[in-house]
Amino acid sequence: MHAATDPALAIAAVRSANAHFYMTLIERPASPFAWANLALSKLYLDELDDELFAALRRADELGPWEPEVQQSVLFVGLAAWHKLGTAQQAAMVRTLERAVQRNATKVTEIVKSFSRLDLLCAINNSKLKIEDTCSRLQKSEPRSNRS
């Protein structure tokens, strides 16, 4: 999708990938990678629906310690955060906690790209060296928004 210069070609490529992920899931329904990629393709198609949220859950359940799955789940989950229910938001935070243990730098980049450092600051992990950033974030936050 990122390589295509023509938007119509990009969408066609995502639709094709989406169809292939469905076919992959018929053959390998326990593949967390296929579920994560299905969720990602649905995000790129702007299909923020129950099927996308189910794909996120399945990817997370089947590949909780797979770094690529964790990163895809986080990316899609943060992109669709406003549509997630409370339970799925909590699941995203748990995925974030696990993902930071594997690759704190990459996960921090993903979270920063969605301006959600608050989520990183809320978890307890010694691999993150963002105490100064979190401290500044908390000081700049209006008092009424603190929890």
Helix or strand run (H / E) with residue 113: helix 86-113
pLDDT digits 0-9 by tens, 54-77: 999 999 999 999 999 999 999 999
Instruction: Identify the CATH homologous superfamily for domain 7-145.
Output: Tetratricopeptide repeat domain (1.25.40.10)
Domain boundaries, the chain: 7-145
Question: Three-state SS for 46?
Answer: coil
What stretches in the chain show pLDDT beneath 70? 1-4, 125-133, 136-147
pTM across the whole model: 0.85
C-beta of residue 49 within 8 angstroms of C-beta of residue 42: yes
C-beta of residue 97 within 8 angstroms of C-beta of residue 125: yes
C-beta of residue 121 within 8 angstroms of C-beta of residue 134: yes
C-beta of residue 28 within 8 angstroms of C-beta of residue 34: yes
